[in-house]
Structure 1
Amino acid sequence: MRELQIVDAAELASAYAAAVYVVALDGDSFPLRVGEPARDLEAYAPASRYAFITAWNPASQPRSDTANEAADALLVTQLDALGVTRHAAWAQDADGRWREPGWLVADVDESALLRLAEEFGQAGVLDWAAGEPVRLRMLAPRPVGHAVAHTDWIPA
């Protein structure tokens, strides 16, 4: 398991919570936002639980496309081995200047999701039950005095 070094977990959680996440399904795109239900996506691709995960840029530290693509290929192999449904997705900042590919996965076990996030050095993932608002799960202790709505802090 990789040890994750986060310089400012509060700032990172705020950026993740403000990002727009988009899922591509059959030529349509379904935006997701932390704290909001994903009714359109859930109606189109029914499941009991959903998550967004990426292998790109561990701890939000930029890496080369080659390194990111290799990590993504390994993540895909592991998702396929788990037998979960996956759909191409991405995260982007509100201005659309930053974009990072990832995967929407359906009905993945919470412990498997967190294990994959840790293995690929991710500081956070999205995870929610159908009908509930999208939640951000940060893989770090909650900073003292800091709260981000719809965010769970999971200490390593």
Structure 2
Amino acid sequence: MREIQIVDAAELAALYAAAAYAVVVDGDAIALRVGEPTPDLEAYLPADTYVVISAWNPASEPRSDAANEAADAALVARLNAAGIARQPAWGSAPDGQWREPGWLLTDIDQAAADRLALDFGQAAVLCWRRGQPVRLRMLLAPPAAVGAAAHVDWAGA
């Protein structure tokens, strides 16, 4: 497992929470937003739980396309080996200047999803239960001065 060193975890959480996300199902891009439910996606892909994960830019440090594509291929290989189905997904800055691909996983155990994300150096995943709003799950220890933020969970020790 990689150790993630983030300078300002609270700022990172705010950026992730404000980002735009989407999942592609049957050629349709379905928008996701932290704090909002996903009835259209859940109608397409009925499941009990959902997780969006990426292998790109570990520790939120920009990497080359080649390095990111290699990390993504390694993530896909792990998902294939575990028999975990996936749908293409992405996250982007609200202004569209940054975009990174990822995957929507359904009915994966949260602890297994967390381990997978941490193995690929990720600071957060999106996760939610059917019928509930999308939550940002920060896999970092909460900063001392962080206040409660709606739909953001801190899972790190």
TM-score interval, smaller chain: over 0.9
- In the alignment, the residues of structure 1 paired with residue 117 and residue 6 of structure 2 have an alpha-carbon distance, to the nearest angstrom, of 14
User: For residue 51 of structure 1, what is the aligned residue in structure 2?
Assistant: 51
User: For residue 97 of structure 2, what is the aligned residue in structure 1?
Assistant: 97
Normalising by structure 1, we get a TM-score of: 0.97
User: For residue 11 of structure 2, what is the aligned residue in structure 1?
Assistant: 11
Cα deviations across residues 50-101 of structure 1 (Å, max 9, x unaligned)?
A: 0000000011100000100000001011112222220001000111111000
Task: Compute the displacement of 1:40 (Å).
Answer: 0.4
- In the alignment, the residues of structure 2 paired with residue 36 and residue 145 of structure 1 have an alpha-carbon distance, to the nearest angstrom, of 26
Normalising by structure 2, we get a TM-score of: 0.96
User: Aligned pair 1:2/2:2, yes or no?
Assistant: yes
Letter of the 2:68 counterpart = N
User: For residue 79 of structure 1, what is the aligned residue in structure 2?
Assistant: 79
Percent identity between matched residues is 63
User: For residue 28 of structure 2, what is the aligned residue in structure 1?
Assistant: 28
Letter of the 2:156 counterpart = P
Q: SS of the counterpart of 2:77?
A: helix
Query: Once superposed, what is the RMSD of the aligned Cα atoms?
Result: 0.9
- In the alignment, the residues of structure 2 paired with residue 145 and residue 7 of structure 1 have an alpha-carbon distance, to the nearest angstrom, of 14
Q: SS of the counterpart of 2:21?
A: strand
Task: Spell out structure 1 runs of 4+ moving beyond 4 A.
Answer: none
- In the alignment, the residues of structure 2 paired with residue 81 and residue 49 of structure 1 have an alpha-carbon distance, to the nearest angstrom, of 20
Letter of the 2:87 counterpart = H
User: For residue 143 of structure 2, what is the aligned residue in structure 1?
Assistant: 143
